[in-house]
């Protein structure tokens, strides 16, 4: 089975801090995604990557950056955390072929105080 592992289930940080969320997948998937999930809004795509060192902006990239130095790892960075970035963050991966599902990690619930 595909396993997508997010480094923390819960994280509490302070306003202005630089925050790193890590995600690792073990199925050699080309595509990796970062979403945030807020009540009533569903999942919103922040960034995605289809190859090492490649990244594409999603629908809400402002305030975030990403890093993909290795195929299995995709990091989300909050450059200067703000309270409106308090949310559930979900990482997902999928193979390059079409008609394939995304595989999700268990999420990181991030609170910015």
Partner 1 sequence: SQQGEEDPQALSIQEGENATMNCSYKTSINNLQWYRQNSGRGLVHLILIRSNEREKHSGRLRVTLDTSKKSSSLLITASRAADTASYFCATEDYGQNFVFGPGTRLSVLP
Nearer to partner 1, 16 or 41 (CB): 41
Residues 25-54 interacting with partner 1 (rule: CB under 8 A): 31, 33, 35, 40-43, 45
Overall size of the chain counted in residues: 113
User: What are residue 84's phi and psi, to 5 degrees?
Assistant: -75, 0
**CB of residue 12 to partner 1, shortest distance in Å:** 16
Burial class (CB in 10 A: 0-12, 13-18, 19+), 74: buried
Joined tokens for residue 15: 């306003």
Site for partner 1, rule CB under 8 A: 4, 31, 33, 35, 40-43, 45, 59, 90, 92, 98-99, 101-107, 109
């Amino acid at each position: 089975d595909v396993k997508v592992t997010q480094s923390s289930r819960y994280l509490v940080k302070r306003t202005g801090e630089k925050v790193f969320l890590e995600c690792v997948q073990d199925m050699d998937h080309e595509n990796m995604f970062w979403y945030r999930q807020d009540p009533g809004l569903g999942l919103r795509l922040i960034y995605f990557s289809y190859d090492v060192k490649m990244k594409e902006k999603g629908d809400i990239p402002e305030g975030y950056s990403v890093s993909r130095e290795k195929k299995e790892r995709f990091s989300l960075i909050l450059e200067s955390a703000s309270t409106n970035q308090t949310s559930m963050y979900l990482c997902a991966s999928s193979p390059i072929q079409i008609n394939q599902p995304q595989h999700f990690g268990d999420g990181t619930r991030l609170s910015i105080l």
